[in-house]
Amino acid sequence: MHAIIVSEPGGPEVLQWAERPDPVAGQGEVLLDIAATAVNRADLLQRQGLYPPPPGASDVIGLECSGTIAALGPGVTGWRVGDEVCALLAGGGYAERVAVPAAQLLPVPAGVDLVSAAALPEVACTVWSNVVMLAGLGAGDVFLVHGGAGGIGTHAIQLGKALGATVAVTAGSAERLARCRELGADLAVNYRDQDFVAELRQATDGHGADVVLDNMGGSYLDRNVDALATGGRLTVIGMQGGRKGELDLAKLMAKRASVSATSLRPRPVDGPGGKAEIIADVRARLWPLVEVGAVRPIVHDVRDIRDIGSAHRDLADGDVFGKLVLRVS
């Protein structure tokens, strides 16, 4: 098969389309012929040598894909050769073929085409596991989404509205804020020149956010705690603003609030909190929202995988609204 390989850690120019040995489906795995994959921010770090794959995962970049089952490994039930699926991957998506645990497969939702389905697994599993399974977002809650215009953010806005929450977002330009509002955001705050804590308090009569989904980490920790309502839940999934920050426990105690931080990629497949558990809940409870169109893949552009360099550049430059999808076959 062919795959995108990293000739040496560096800029987008180190990404090359090259021949690689075909993967083989092991116990409990299926082999997929990949139709499309999608770009994630973590891919840029992996390309630079800053985010190595977890032990046992493919060293080929790519955390999600869509495609057709080409072969079943031993012990796989519930799937057939020829099924169209999308998959959460620990790596290996930038390729023509990948072997993936069957427990990480999702059917392509009705109403979504095979190529666009590649934009769903990573954002769906990340947002659902943090915002619903961990933080328990529900109807009537106020939900603050940082980076509303990104892949994660555009998915989170739609999910928040589908669950009956009031959704506030941050984004970095008037145009991106307007697009977040079109997707359903009730309040849109420009993080470059507005104070999101003050704006949120004003818009919610002092209540604040019941749930915050945060991509910034250290630099936003104190302000995120300020933004929380009594009993609020801050879920940190990114460290774009650094890995360390000061946590004022007195503020947290006074609000009876909580802070969590999770990452999806290194989780085991099985066991409590594993990928299989997340996939099962996403399939049972989120997929019906996708199938009625309440939550859609937001695809900024579809490019040939051999244009991977331009895709990495555009994501790094902040020129992408939603997800960049790469067509493989």
* Binding site residues, ligand NAP, CB under 6 A: 40-42, 122, 126, 146-147, 149-153, 170-172, 176, 191, 215-216, 237-238, 240, 262-264, 315, 318, 320
The tokens of 65 are what?
A: 């894909």
Tell me the closest approach of the beta carbon of residue 240 to ligand NAP, in angstroms.
5
Tell me the closest approach of the beta carbon of residue 172 to ligand NAP, in angstroms.
3
The number of CA neighbours under 13 Å toward the Cβ of 180 is: 32
Closest-by-Cβ residue to ligand NAP is 150
Identify the H or E element spanning 244: none
Tell me the closest approach of the beta carbon of residue 186 to ligand NAP, in angstroms.
17
Look-up: residue for tokens 């209540």?
207
The number of CA neighbours under 13 Å toward the Cβ of 25 is: 19
Nearer to ligand NAP, 23 or 153 (CB): 153
Nearer to ligand NAP, 41 or 201 (CB): 41
Given phi > 0 = left and psi -120 to 50 = alpha, else beta, which region is 35? alpha
Asked if residue 43 lies in contact with residue 52, where contact means CB atoms within 8 angstroms, the answer is no
Q: In whole angstroms, what is the distance from residue 212 CA to residue 230 CA?
A: 13
Task: Decide: residue 80, CB within 10 A, 0-12 exposed, 13-18 middle, 19+ buried.
Answer: exposed
Tell me the closest approach of the beta carbon of residue 90 to ligand NAP, in angstroms.
12
Asked if residue 165 lies in contact with residue 137, where contact means CB atoms within 8 angstroms, the answer is yes
Asked if residue 159 lies in contact with residue 127, where contact means CB atoms within 8 angstroms, the answer is yes
Look-up: residue for tokens 């697994």?
121
Tell me the closest approach of the beta carbon of residue 270 to ligand NAP, in angstroms.
18
Q: In whole angstroms, what is the distance from residue 19 CA to residue 2 CA?
A: 4
Nearer to ligand NAP, 68 or 262 (CB): 262
The tokens of 220 are what?
A: 């936003």
Identify the H or E element spanning 220: none
Nearer to ligand NAP, 80 or 243 (CB): 243
Q: Of 75, 97, 73, 81, which is closest to residue 23 (Cα–Cα)?
A: 97
Q: In whole angstroms, what is the distance from residue 146 CA to residue 220 CA?
A: 10
**What count of residues does the chain have?**
329
Nearer to ligand NAP, 94 or 191 (CB): 191
Tell me the closest approach of the beta carbon of residue 187 to ligand NAP, in angstroms.
14
Tell me the closest approach of the beta carbon of residue 152 to ligand NAP, in angstroms.
3
Tell me the closest approach of the beta carbon of residue 210 to ligand NAP, in angstroms.
19
Amino acid at 216: M
Nearer to ligand NAP, 25 or 264 (CB): 264
Nearer to ligand NAP, 264 or 289 (CB): 264
Nearer to ligand NAP, 101 or 153 (CB): 153
